[in-house]
Structure 1
Amino acid sequence: MASKKRRSVTGILLLDKPAGLSSNKVLQRVKWLYQARKAGHTGSLDPLATGLLPLCFGDATKVSGFLLDADKRYVVRARAGMTTNTADAEGEILRTREVGDLTAERIEAELADFRGAIQQVPPMYSALKHQGQRLYKLAREGKEVERAPRDVTIHELRLLGVEREHFELEVHCSKGTYVRSLVEDLGEALGCGAHVEALRRTALGPFARPAMVSLAQVEAAAEQGEEALDALLIPMEQALVQWPEVRLSNEVAHYLLQGQPVWVPQAPAGGWVRLFAEGERFLGMGHMLSDGRVAPKRLLAQA
């Protein structure tokens, strides 16, 4: 690009992450292409994984935490009869076992135990920390530490197909769910072990059927200039469409932008809301108080 000066850009890029790159490496590449001052992603995908990785720029980083907490959907292809130290195809093989007759009926019989509220032990190859160190760094040093089980929810778990020792699942899960651990635990329930061969995130929170942008498309847009790059972004408020909206006159919005809670006629009951002024001007996020006022919480800098 002609200019190396970092610029202020706000919006969300619904990136289709390619396989073979870490989420952070993809983020840094796209941030450089945009020459953006500020950017962050909304929850890592393993290097092996592909699919939806929302990247937030500028003020949009204020919604990244809400996307981190959102439910996700994945399609995963698993290989039965083999376990690895990473629970996916990138790891070293730890054990191989006879698979036997792997039928849809055999798998379906075990899936019921993995639906609903379950507990998972996080894998050693994860970004969680133990005494200030990432677990994956300890794992690479050959160390293993005890990990407390975590409560997660599997809203939907559907078998898509079986082919010899391979099977494919669709998973709709809560935040904090490790699909690698799910597949590994299912493999143990089947008595033959299993690991992830391929993983794709297809949805995240409000982005149920997203039109994703490939890294190649971003690189091509960068050749055309800033206008083409910015055309790939969506407004940050699209990450919050599940929240009620509160519309304020410009006069009332003035006081809200000074940090003051303001009264809202026919206010929605409690919780987070999207704030708009006249002319569809998005102000940011607020929280409804019990007395019918809305308190500003995370406002846009340009508001």
Structure 2
Amino acid sequence: MAKTVWRSVDGIVLLNKPIGLSSNQALQRVRRLYRAAKAGHTGALDPLATGMLPLCLGEATKFSQFLLDADKRYITCIQLGKRTTTGDREGDVLTDEAIPTLTDEELESVLDRFRGEIEQIPPMYSALKHEGKPLYEYARQGIVIERKRRHVTISNLTLVSRTEDTLTLDIQCTKGTYIRTIGEDIGEALGCGAHLHSLHRVSTAGYSPEGMLTLEEFERIAEQGEAELGTYLMTMDTAVEHLNRVELLSEETREMLFGRSVNNLTSFGDGSLVRLYDQVSQRFLGLGVLKGTIIRPHRLVNTSELTNI
């Protein structure tokens, strides 16, 4: 097999991750198609989960944290009546209990406890690390690590459908929310236990699900050539579109790219991060941080050709 020759590719693509692959396995498949020298994903999905996985290639990896920190939306199916070792359908069944008969109003009353700001204890079967090791590695050895409660916000929790033993929910939440834990906690609130049957991430940071491609679609596009693949790359500044935009004059651009602060007479509040663009080329330069009207370099992209302006 010929050795891959990696190349410089900058941008963001939206993968509809398939079931059965880890986020890193899915990332590496797409990375190889682009031959991207550098790549990273923005918030792992379990192998059981499917859906939106933004992948940052090249310089876009500098802004992946903003997607990690963004709100996310999921559609999940919760199986009532059975608790499992892992909190999802891949675990061994621990208990099998009768499911109470509830009216829609009674069920809504229970679901309402999980709307707004809530507390969660992260599950043992998670990638959260303790002393450098993911919790799931301890869990597989039968070791339970004490976890701190965390506050998360559920901005939307809508019952999509229900059967005798399942609930399908549409959930929008802040970073760090464990949907598996919501499922288990709803089961406990109903008195019968529950586990996650399926999980699909609909969106991250407001990216439209219509922009997602499956691995098979990426592979078919790759057959048409790397130029065609390139048309599906979103610009890296889409990861920080929520920040205010500032355009720099040519001299200011040069100073910024040499790592020097500039006085742009712009003020959005001390400590604010802003998106920086060269006024002439409209090229995205990266992020600056404000101190009064002074803009200091914060995280810049590689734009070496612009330093000759």
Could you say which TM-score interval applies, normalised by the shorter chain?
over 0.9
Are residue 285 (structure 1) and residue 287 (structure 2) matched? yes
Residues 38-117 of structure 1 correspond to what in structure 2 (within 5 A)?
38-117=38-117
Give how far 1:222 is off: 1.8
What is the CA distance between 1:269 and its match in structure 2? 2.9
Contact kept in structure 2, 1:76 and 1:198, CA below 8 Å:
yes
1:12–1:234 contact (8 Å) kept in structure 2: yes
CA shift for structure 1 position 80: 0.5
CA contact under 8 A between 2:79 and 2:194: conserved in structure 1?
yes
1:86-235 → structure 2 map (5 Å cutoff): 86-235=86-235
CA distance in 1, matches of 2:164, 2:88: 18
| Structure 2: gaps of 5 or more residues | 305-309
User: Are the aligned partners of 1:99 and 1:165 in contact in 2 as well (CA < 8 Å)?
Assistant: yes
Q: Distance in 1 between matches of 2:3 and 2:220?
A: 16
Partner SS for 2:223: helix
Q: What secondary structure sits across from 2:31 in the alignment?
A: helix
After superposition, what is the alpha-carbon deviation per residue over 1:196-239, rounded to whole angstroms, capped at 9, x for unaligned?
A: 11111111113255511111111112222211221111001111
Aligned partner letter, 1:302 = T
* Distance in 2 between residues matched to 1:73 and 1:178, nearest whole Å: 12
Q: TM-score, normalised by structure 2?
A: 0.94
For residues 127-166 of structure 1, the C-alpha deviation after alignment (integer angstroms, 9 at most, x for no partner) is: 1112222111111122222111111111111111111111
Q: 1:224 to 1:268 in 2, by over 3 A?
A: same
Range that drifts further, 202-211 or 85-94: 202-211
- Distance across 2 between alignment mates of 1:84 and 1:18: 23
* Distance (Å, rounded) in 1 between the aligned partners of 2:187 and 2:144: 21
Structure 2 CA distance for aligned equivalents of residues 19 and 213 of structure 1: 14
Shifted more, 95-104 versus 164-173: the winner is 95-104
Rounded to whole Å, the distance in 2 between the matches of 1:286 and 1:90 is: 45
CA distance in 2, matches of 1:267, 1:155: 30
How many residue pairs align between the two structures?
302
RMSD over aligned Cα, in angstroms? 1.5
